[in-house]
Amino acid sequence: MADTGWLLGGTAISSDIDGGDVEWESPAGVKALGGNTYTWEMSNGEYTQHLLISNFSISLPDYAVVSGISVRLNRDCVSDDDGDIVDDIVRLRKSTGYVGDDKAAYDWPSATASQDYGSSSNLWGTTWSKAEVESSSFGVGIRASKVTTNVDADARLWYVQILVTYTIVVVDPIVTTQAVDDVGKVTATANGNITDTGGANATRRGFCYKVGTSGDPTTSDSVEYADGSFGTGAFDEAMSGLLPNTGYRVRAYAVNSAGTGYGTTVQLTTLTAFMAKVFML
């Protein structure tokens, strides 16, 4: 399991998307650890506008699967009493708007402090693809409310951060088979290419083959291979001990921690004297 680290947003706006009472002043302040956004003297029962933070510039590795999202609010309540300002909305957003759970649950303290929402294993009641969290529209919406007391209060947010936790889910490598060349009476050279590792380098790459003109060979048939740590790229292996004037079915394969990936099957016929026929199926 890995994570992006705590990231600041690149965009922050105060929005009256559902008619919040009080606008956030200088909302862009939450884009930096040294800034802040705030409200003026919220009265009993008032709500802030939505503070919408997005554009977190998240970049996940290939084959990353999102396993959890955390939001950190560093905030305080400028008032005589803790709890004069409370969470009203803390929700994640996709391009279509709010999705999943509302994590609002906490009072805002009079001394500046951070509060985390979600966790490394919490997806906020929905699903998240790599593309969705990498989108510039992915973000968080925050709204606070003033509870019923006799004291006006200011809500103040110093910064908002997001952390995405993910795992790499390895899949079978993707392999292609090219035409066999250097065909002789009892030898030939098989050619292939690992075009995608599937998230982990191959520990074996090679070719499987069998006599015939139909069907796909597997690693249970004859094989030529090399062991090591192989990324994407072309490879070849010499095939020897073949029968003259005989048809063979050949295909490339590669093995990583998830399993075995095969290419398509090609046909070859070994030489009787000076000719060979190679057909790509």
Indicate whether 139 and 22 sit together in one domain.
yes
What domain range includes position 228?
174-280
54 and 145 inside one domain: yes
Same domain membership, residue 183 and residue 146: no
CATH of the domain at 225: 2.60.40.10
Per-residue pLDDT tens over the stretch 222-249 = 999 999 999 999 999 999 999 999 999 9
CATH value at residue 54: 2.60.120
pLDDT at 148 (0 to 100)? 75
Rg of the chain taking only CA atoms, in angstroms = 30
Task: Output the CA torsion sign for 87, 93, 98, 101.
Answer: negative
Pair (138, 197) in one structural domain: no
pLDDT value of residue 273 = 62
Query: What is the tally of structural domains in the chain?
Result: 2
Domain match, 91 and 23 both: yes
136 plus 213 within the same structural domain: no
Residue 82: pLDDT band with limits 50, 70, 90: low
pTM above 0.75, yes or no: yes
**Percentage, residues of the chain above pLDDT 70:** 95
Regarding whether 194 and 126 lie in a shared domain, the answer is no
Q: CA torsion 268→272→274→280, rounded to 10°? A: -10
The pair phi, psi for residue 158, each rounded to 5°, is: -90, -40
Q: Cα separation of 95 and 135, whole Å?
A: 8
- For residues 12 and 92, membership in a common domain is answered with yes
**Which residues, 6+ apart, have CB-to-CB distance to 18 below 8 Å?**
50
